[in-house]
């Protein structure tokens, strides 16, 4: 009898639960019977039901800034806190351009590529505004106990590129360098071991472009083009560059264990972990916020977010979020985001940018690469 | 002499030695496993327990028109940096809601900055020497202390470490697991019943069986991709919601429940079915009144273990967008929500010491929930188990 009662009550609970949740999950049961067309309506209903909540995807570098603004908006703006996902710049762009629905914003640690813009256009996402929020520098850091290296962009290129110019400078060969002092006698005689972001990351994109592609399209342009390697920007894959996930914190942990290893990550992370790691100088400039904003430190980049303006109709909070983000309180010289590692633009650029974004200046394909 | 003994075994010494070695190897394997467990638990508990306490400072707070306009003036300059940014953010709203506090300076306990908190707990901190002197003085006066961390148990994620809590992910986990159970349990049990009691044994059922067994061993990330393709892209359900997460985890749990259910039903002796058929009962009556009740303890044990696994799962939820910054406590299945292991994952990626501590604190809660679920499974098994 006991078994029977317990079983019956369990079945009853399970059935109740199932019926109960079917009310909220209108799609699941409908599609089972009704096929794909009906789901269009189901999805519209659920989208309307998801109220006034902004959904954001994109760069892991912009993620901390975006979520700080999101939290501020949720706490003080009287709207649901926006959801911020860290998908990497490329992944974010893909989702952003796929449909006219959510995500409403994608964060990016580089400008939108022309290819991505075309993809957006193809899917009807045309009314986009680009907002630049400031700068971030990419640093090469080592454990604090290790003497900081003085590198040049060329030396970094020789250490990480998949293919490098041969010693006689006449051909392009697979990267043979295993120790830093093989690149330049002034560098330490320690093995090259670089922990850096994976392909999905915006930091990786920028690092490839600002170091490898920069060298192969400027200093070694003729050599690489002669070898049929136009715009070459591949990072070595022989195990000396280790992809370390979107989780920058893990890189810091590895550096404190492996004293001679070098980590590649955003400047904000260096600032937060200044007690554990120190940045190498590049072309004689130390990675400081002044050197990055002035462009003296060569490996730096702009940070952006992109807004789907047509979504304001469904998600009115979007306007509030953009206004809050593009305010002196956030991106200014004394703004909240500076404490989190964002390097502000200078006053004039900033004011012009804020004006453009608030006027919903539409992004055109011109000037995109 | 011994050679004349017909019972003498020349290999005896060697065999005894082998026996001893085997015993030693087995014991040391156990010791290694136990010591890892002990190290893990001491590490988690010693790091996690402090997160249940949070530093508060007792300071004079000035409420007036100016300080409400810019809350950074509400605390005197010497102590300004010691107070949490979250408090400065929320103070104007508090003052507006409680007009009686206006135009007064009252001494009250306010949330301290996470660096003060870490300093008090003896962890790495970034307080300057001057700030340390101020805090040391306050410790002597008794105007800074560690209080119970109610924020941790009552709010969601935050970018301000001392303001972040675990509740929203606990609620998210409950909603997600509810969907998971509601989806996987009835379907899983019914499938098991059909396959075990009704289906004819043949090529089709063998094919199904092999596939279900294989599905139970498929890496969980693949179910995430399946969930993304079906529930989000095809059915258009809201991304990051408990609904999508629960269904995805349900897909993952389904084969486990079917396999456990079939094993449990199979262990019900055939004599019971034969006796019931002999009395003229229909299949439905046999299953409902006899086989299912007798197999239920086994089904429940398998299901609870499968669901406990789903509860600790993170990988498929990355794909459906539940690993994100989601501080609000979800109130419906379609709202964006995060789950406990996802929250732990997010915090583990943060550099501040207060998050490191919260990671361990949250792991303790998650482990507690999982241990409770496993204990429940054992209880059900022991209570209703019948040995044939």
- A336 to chain B, minimum CA–CA distance in Å? 10
The answer to whether residue A145 scores a pLDDT higher than 70 is yes
Is A27 near chain B, with CB under 8 Å? yes
Instruction: Return the structure tokens found at B147.
Output: 């209080």
Instruction: Return the structure tokens found at A159.
Output: 């250490």
Q: Which ranges constitute the DSSP H helices of B111-241? A: 114-120, 129-141, 150-154, 167-193, 203-215, 220-227
Q: Do B333 and A17 touch (CB under 8 A)?
A: no
Confidence of residue B75 (pLDDT cuts 50, 70, 90): confident
Quote the distance between the C-alpha of residue B236 and its chain's center.
27
Domain locations in chain A as residue ranges = 52-136+302-358, 137-301
State percent of chain A over pLDDT 70.
Answer: 84
Nearest CA in chain A to B247: A28
pLDDT of residue A24: 40
pLDDT of residue A45: 40
- A204 to chain B, minimum CA–CA distance in Å? 18
Is A84 near chain B, with CB under 8 Å? yes
For chain A, the distance separating the N- and C-terminal CA atoms, rounded to the nearest angstrom, is 74
Report the mean per-residue pLDDT for chain B: 88
Among A137, A61, A65, smallest CA distance to A292 is for A137
Is A170 near chain B, with CB under 8 Å? no
The answer to whether residue B2 scores a pLDDT higher than 70 is no
Most confident of A99-113, A295-309, B173-187: B173-187
- CA-to-CA distance for B162 and B153, rounded, in angstroms? 12
- CA-to-CA distance for A182 and A173, rounded, in angstroms? 15
Is A210 near chain B, with CB under 8 Å? no
Biggest CA-to-CA distance, chain A: 90
**Which positions ≥6 away from A86 have C-beta within 8 Å?**
A58, A59, A60, A63, A246, B323, B324, B325
Q: What is the mean pLDDT of residues B138-166?
A: 89
Q: Do A50 and B351 touch (CB under 8 A)?
A: no
Domain locations in chain B as residue ranges = 50-148, 167-384
Instruction: Report CA-CA distances (Å) from B277 to A308, A314, B272, B286, B295.
Output: 66, 61, 9, 8, 18
- CA-to-CA distance for B206 and A259, rounded, in angstroms? 57
**Taking the alpha carbons of B269, B271, B277, B280 in that order, is the dihedral positive or negative?**
negative
* Unique residue bearing structure tokens 């006066």: B141
- CA-to-CA distance for B61 and B74, rounded, in angstroms? 5
State percent of chain B over pLDDT 70.
Answer: 98
Among B32, B10, B8, B54, smallest CA distance to B163 is for B54
Residues 229-248 of A with CB under 8 A from B: 246-248
Q: Do A3 and B384 touch (CB under 8 A)?
A: yes
Quote the distance between the C-alpha of residue A307 and its chain's center.
16
- CA-to-CA distance for A15 and A12, rounded, in angstroms? 5
- CA-to-CA distance for A200 and A61, rounded, in angstroms? 12
The answer to whether residue A153 scores a pLDDT higher than 80 is yes
- CA-to-CA distance for B267 and B265, rounded, in angstroms? 5
Q: Do B93 and A4 touch (CB under 8 A)?
A: no
* CB-CB neighbours of A118 under 10 Å: 13
- A182 to chain B, minimum CA–CA distance in Å? 34
- CA-to-CA distance for A58 and A106, rounded, in angstroms? 5
Instruction: Return the structure tokens found at A319.
Output: 């306007």
**ipTM for this model:** 0.78
Among B141, B57, B148, smallest CA distance to B107 is for B57
- CA-to-CA distance for B197 and B191, rounded, in angstroms? 10
Q: What angle do CA A351, A352, A355 make, to 5 degrees?
A: 85
Which of B159, B185, B333 minimises the CB distance to A25? B333
pTM of the model: 0.74
The answer to whether residue A313 scores a pLDDT higher than 50 is yes
pLDDT tens-place string over residues B277-300: 999 999 889 998 889 888 888 898
Collect all residues of chain A within an 8 Å Cβ-Cβ radius of residue B254.
none
Name the architecture of domain A52-136+302-358. Answer: 3-Layer(aba) Sandwich (3.40)
Q: What is the mean pLDDT of residues B20-29?
A: 96
Q: What is the DSSP letter of A360?
A: T
The answer to whether residue B156 scores a pLDDT higher than 80 is yes
Instruction: Return the structure tokens found at A240.
Output: 């000396």
Nearest CA in chain B to A26: B237
Among A296, A245, A295, A252, smallest CA distance to A276 is for A252
Pairing of strands A241-243, A194-196: parallel
The DSSP element (H or E) to which A228 belongs, if any, is none
Q: Do A47 and B238 touch (CB under 8 A)?
A: yes
Whether the CB-CB separation of B241 and B333 falls below 8 Å is answered with yes
Whether the CB-CB separation of A105 and A305 falls below 8 Å is answered with yes
Residues 274-293 of A with CB under 8 A from B: 275
Among A103, A105, A94, A108, smallest CA distance to A61 is for A108
* Unique residue bearing structure tokens 């100088």: A281
- CA-to-CA distance for A209 and A194, rounded, in angstroms? 17
Q: What angle do CA A354, A359, A363 make, to 5 degrees?
A: 90
Strand, helix or coil for residue A104: coil
Collect all residues of chain A within an 8 Å Cβ-Cβ radius of residue B327.
70-71, 74, 81
- CA-to-CA distance for B156 and B175, rounded, in angstroms? 15
Q: Across chain A, how many H-helices and E-strands are there?
A: 18, 13
Instruction: Report CA-CA distances (Å) from A364 to A58, A107, A121, A361.
Output: 20, 18, 10, 9
- A363 to chain B, minimum CA–CA distance in Å? 26
The answer to whether residue A239 scores a pLDDT higher than 50 is yes
The answer to whether residue A348 scores a pLDDT higher than 70 is yes
Q: A137-301 has which fold?
A: D-Maltodextrin-Binding Protein; domain 2 (3.40.190)
pLDDT of residue A18: 43
Q: Do A43 and B335 touch (CB under 8 A)?
A: no
**Taking the alpha carbons of B149, B352, A268, A231 in that order, is the dihedral positive or negative?**
negative
- CA-to-CA distance for B65 and B263, rounded, in angstroms? 71
- CA-to-CA distance for A55 and A106, rounded, in angstroms? 9
Instruction: Report CA-CA distances (Å) from A239 to A158, A175, A360.
Output: 15, 12, 46
Q: What is the mean pLDDT of residues A335-346?
A: 80
Is A71 near chain B, with CB under 8 Å? yes
pLDDT tens-place string over residues A278-308: 889 998 888 887 888 777 888 888 889 999 9
Cβ contacts below 8 Å, chain A against chain B, sum to: 141
Confidence of residue A201 (pLDDT cuts 50, 70, 90): low
- CA-to-CA distance for A46 and B29, rounded, in angstroms? 53
Most confident of A164-168, A222-226, B278-282, B318-322: B278-282
Collect all residues of chain A within an 8 Å Cβ-Cβ radius of residue B158.
71
Collect all residues of chain B within an 8 Å Cβ-Cβ radius of residue A21.
178-179, 182, 243, 333
The answer to whether residue B96 scores a pLDDT higher than 60 is yes
- CA-to-CA distance for B117 and B152, rounded, in angstroms? 14
Domain B167-384 classified CATH 1.10.3720.10?
yes
């Amino acid at each position: 009898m006991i078994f029977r009662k317990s079983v019956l009550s369990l079945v009853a609970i399970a059935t109740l639960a199932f019926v109960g949740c079917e009310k909220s999950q209108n799609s699941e049961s409908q599609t089972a019977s009704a096929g794909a067309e009906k789901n269009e309506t189901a999805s519209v209903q659920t989208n309307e039901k998801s109220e006034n909540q902004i959904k954001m995807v994109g760069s892991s570098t912009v993620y901390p800034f975006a979520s700080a603004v999101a939290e501020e908006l949720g706490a003080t703006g009287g709207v649901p806190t926006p959801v911020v996902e860290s998908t990497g710049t490329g992944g974010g762009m893909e989702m952003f351009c796929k449909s006219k629905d959510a995500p409403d914003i994608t964060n990016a640690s580089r400008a939108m590529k022309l290819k991505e813009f075309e993809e957006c256009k193809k899917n009807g996402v045309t009314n986009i505004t680009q907002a630049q929020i400031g700068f971030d520098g990419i640093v090469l850091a080592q454990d604090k106990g290790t003497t900081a290296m003085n590198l040049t962009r060329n030396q970094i290129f020789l250490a990480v590129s998949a293919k490098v110019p041969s010693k006689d400078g006449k051909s392009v060969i697979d990267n043979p360098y295993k120790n830093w002092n093989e690149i330049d006698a002034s560098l330490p005689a320690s093995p090259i071991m670089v922990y850096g972001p994976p392909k999905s990351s915006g930091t990786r994109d920028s690092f490839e472009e600002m170091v490898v592609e920069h060298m192969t399209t400027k200093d070694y342009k003729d050599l690489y083009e002669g070898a049929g390697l136009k715009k070459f920007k591949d990072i070595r894959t022989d195990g000396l560059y280790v992809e370390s996930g979107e989780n920058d914190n893990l890189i810091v942990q590895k550096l404190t264990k492996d004293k001679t290893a070098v980590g590649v990550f955003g400047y904000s992370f260096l600032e937060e972990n200044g007690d554990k790691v120190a940045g190498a100088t590049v072309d004689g400039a130390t990675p400081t916020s002044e050197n990055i904003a002035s462009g003296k430190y060569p490996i730096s980049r702009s940070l952006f977010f992109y807004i789907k303006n047509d979504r304001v109709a469904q998600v009115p909070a979007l306007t509030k979020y953009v206004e809050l983000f593009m305010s002196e309180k956030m991106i200014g010289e004394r703004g909240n985001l500076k404490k989190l590692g964002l390097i502000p633009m200078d006053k004039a650029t900033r004011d012009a940018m804020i004006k453009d974004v608030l006027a919903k200046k539409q992004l055109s394909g011109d000037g995109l690469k | 002499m011994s050679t004349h003994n017909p019972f003498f075994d020349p290999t005896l010494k060697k065999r005894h030695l082998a026996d001893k070695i085997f015993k030693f190897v087995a014991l040391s394997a156990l010791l290694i496993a136990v010591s890892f467990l002990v190290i893990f638990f001491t590490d988690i508990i010693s790091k996690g327990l402090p997160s249940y306490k949070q530093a508060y400072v007792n300071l004079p707070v000035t409420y007036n028109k100016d300080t409400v306009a810019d809350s950074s003036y509400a605390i005197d300059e010497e102590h300004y940096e010691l107070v949490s940014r979250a408090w400065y953010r929320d103070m104007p709203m508090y003052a507006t809601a409680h007009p009686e506090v206006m135009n007064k300076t009252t001494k009250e306990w306010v949330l301290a900055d996470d660096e003060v908190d870490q300093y008090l707990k003896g962890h790495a901190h970034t307080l300057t020497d001057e700030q340390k002197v101020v805090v040391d003085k306050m410790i002597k006066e008794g105007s800074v202390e560690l209080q119970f961390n109610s924020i941790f148990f009552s709010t969601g994620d935050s970018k301000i470490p001392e303001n972040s809590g675990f509740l929203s992910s606990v609620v998210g986990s409950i909603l997600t697991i509810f969907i998971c159970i509601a989806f996987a349990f009835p379907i899983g049990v019914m499938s098991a019943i059909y396959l075990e009691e009704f289906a004819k044994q043949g090529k089709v059922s063998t094919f199904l069986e092999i596939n279900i067994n294989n599905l139970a061993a498929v890496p969980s990330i693949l179910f995430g991709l399946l969930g993304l393709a079906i529930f989000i892209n095809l059915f258009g359900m809201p991304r990051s919601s408990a609904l999508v997460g629960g269904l995805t985890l349900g897909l993952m749990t389904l084969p486990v429940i079917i396999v456990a259910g079939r094993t449990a039903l199979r262990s019900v002796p055939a004599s019971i079915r034969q006796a019931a058929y002999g009395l003229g009962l229909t299949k439905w009556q046999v299953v409902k009144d006899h086989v299912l009740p007798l197999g239920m303890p086994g089904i429940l044990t398998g299901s609870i273990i499968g669901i406990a696994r789903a509860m600790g799962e993170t990988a498929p939820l990355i794909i459906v967008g539940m690993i994100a910054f989601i501080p609000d406590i979800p109130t419906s299945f379609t709202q964006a929500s995060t789950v406990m292991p996802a929250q732990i994952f997010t915090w583990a990626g943060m550099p501040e010491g207060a998050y490191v501590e919260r990671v361990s604190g949250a792991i303790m809660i998650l482990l507690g929930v999982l241990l409770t679920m496993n204990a429940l499974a054992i209880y059900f098994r022991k209570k209703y188990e019948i040995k044939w």
